[in-house]
């Protein structure tokens, strides 16, 4: 087909075989075919990505596809949509999640433990668990806008089974309706295996007034910066310890920046502005900025 000439002397582009997949699955089932075992993972991945393929794909996969779906939380949809007469062939505990195939990030201290125990409507939960990624993002945003706690509970219900890139996108979506009730969930996310997820959680916590992370950053800054006889003195961190890194401090500085200056700048940036006024005798921001800084640290404090 790709080599045939089109009217006017042009050439047709190669056909998109993915568009033929629904028809192919339907015909394969009509003729009683069953998918080879080696192709079941690809078949389940295709069904996960396209809800319109699921009934025919699961029929073609048969009982082995349902058995395999138990081993990977990303294929959990198959246990709910396996079709009449087929779900019974799966083991009785088919809905139980297993650790095999779980994406990085699902471990002790899972953020789901910090999500509120809030009832989620069945219809919303079904959309969330079975929809395509874009649909799930829309569902989460809509639910969060109406009721942030329900949205957080929805996210927490599947957090341990989400891929790292999806966890990052979902976590970032909390930004619009961020509230103090999100803090326990975000604190747990600081222990995520994904560096980007940890960084986003730290950023969101820094934006929460009165969060524990903001307080920890303020304590670190207080230990580094002080006012002595009208002059600001600085003792930058000697190391970037595990606690600092957990709270979002990036250990490796960019090219041309010293380590200690880099760590100090991140601490200062994450410290609530109102802390500085209290530490510096009630001075306002303009007065603090005008104070002299000893030993050439002014640029790093005001970067």
- The pLDDT assigned to 297 comes to 92
Kindly report the average pLDDT of the chain as a whole number. 81
Boundary-marking domain end, from 206, 225, 252: 206
| Same domain, yes or no: 202 and 218 | no
Which of the listed ranges 55-59, 122-126, 169-173 does the model predict with the highest average pLDDT?
169-173
pLDDT above 90: residue 303: no
Chain centroid to CA 127: 18
Residue 94 in any domain: the answer is no
- The pLDDT assigned to 176 comes to 84
Residue 166 in any domain: the answer is yes
Residue 2 in any domain: the answer is no
| Same domain, yes or no: 194 and 239 | no
Across the range 154-172, mean pLDDT stands at 90
Boundary-marking domain end, from 154, 178, 206: 206
pLDDT confidence band for 27 (50 / 70 / 90)? confident
Residue 238 in any domain: the answer is yes
Boundary-marking domain end, from 155, 183, 206: 206
pLDDT digits (tens, 9 = 90+) for 266-278: 999 999 989 999 9
pLDDT above 80: residue 7: no
DSSP strand pairing (225-228 vs 231-234): antiparallel
Q: Tokens 């999100």 map to which residue? A: 182
Residue 98 in any domain: the answer is no
**Cβ burial 5-27 (10 Å sphere, 16+ → b, else e):** eeeeeeeeeeeeeeeebeeebee
Asked if 118 contacts 153 with a C-beta cutoff of 8 angstroms, the reply is yes
Percentage of residues in the chain having pLDDT higher than 70: 81
| Same domain, yes or no: 201 and 217 | no
pLDDT above 50: residue 46: yes
pLDDT above 90: residue 279: yes
Residue 103 in any domain: the answer is no
Asked if 103 contacts 162 with a C-beta cutoff of 8 angstroms, the reply is yes
| Same domain, yes or no: 135 and 202 | yes
| Same domain, yes or no: 218 and 197 | no
pLDDT digits (tens, 9 = 90+) for 53-108: 888 888 898 888 888 888 888 887 787 654 433 333 333 333 333 333 333 444 43
pLDDT digits (tens, 9 = 90+) for 183-235: 999 999 999 999 899 999 999 999 887 899 999 999 999 999 999 999 999 99
| Same domain, yes or no: 115 and 201 | yes
pLDDT above 90: residue 159: yes
Residue 172 in any domain: the answer is yes
Residue 20 in any domain: the answer is no
| Same domain, yes or no: 136 and 188 | yes
pLDDT above 60: residue 154: yes
| Same domain, yes or no: 288 and 218 | yes
| Same domain, yes or no: 141 and 75 | no
- The pLDDT assigned to 268 comes to 93
pLDDT confidence band for 247 (50 / 70 / 90)? very high
| Same domain, yes or no: 190 and 120 | yes
Name the pTM for this structure: 0.60
Domain range spanning residue 283? 212-301
Q: How far apart are CA 65 and CA 47, in angstroms?
A: 11
| Same domain, yes or no: 153 and 117 | yes
Overall number of domains in the chain: 3
| Same domain, yes or no: 217 and 200 | no
């Amino acid at each position: 087909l790709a080599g045939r000439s089109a009217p006017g002397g042009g050439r047709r582009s190669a056909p998109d075989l993915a568009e033929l997949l629904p028809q192919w699955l339907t015909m394969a089932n009509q003729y009683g075919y069953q998918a080879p075992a080696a192709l079941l993972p690809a078949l389940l991945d295709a069904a996960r990505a396209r809800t319109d393929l699921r009934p025919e794909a699961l029929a073609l996969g048969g009982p082995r596809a349902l058995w395999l779906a138990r081993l990977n939380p990303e294929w959990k949809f198959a246990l709910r949509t396996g079709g009449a007469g087929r779900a019974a062939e799966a083991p009785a505990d088919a809905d139980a999640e297993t650790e095999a195939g779980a994406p990085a990030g699902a471990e002790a201290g899972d953020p789901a433990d910090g999500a509120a125990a809030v009832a989620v409507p069945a219809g919303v939960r079904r959309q969330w668990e079975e929809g395509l990624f874009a649909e799930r993002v829309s569902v989460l945003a809509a639910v969060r806008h109406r009721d942030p706690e329900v949205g957080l509970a929805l996210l927490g219900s599947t957090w341990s089974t989400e891929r790292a890139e999806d966890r990052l996108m979902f976590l970032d979506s909390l930004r619009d309706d961020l509230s103090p009730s999100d803090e326990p969930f975000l604190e747990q996310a600081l222990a995520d295996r994904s560096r980007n997820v940890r960084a986003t959680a730290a950023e969101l916590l820094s934006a929460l007034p009165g969060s524990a992370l903001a307080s920890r950053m303020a304590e670190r800054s207080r230990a580094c910066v002080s006012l002595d006889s009208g002059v600001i003195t600085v003792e930058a961190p000697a190391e970037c310890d595990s606690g600092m890194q957990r709270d979002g401090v990036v250990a490796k500085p960019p090219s041309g920046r010293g380590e200690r200056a880099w760590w100090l700048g991140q601490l200062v940036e994450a410290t609530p502005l109102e802390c500085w006024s209290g530490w510096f005798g009630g001075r306002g921001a303009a007065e603090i900025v005008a104070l002299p800084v000893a030993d050439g640290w002014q640029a790093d404090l005001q970067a």
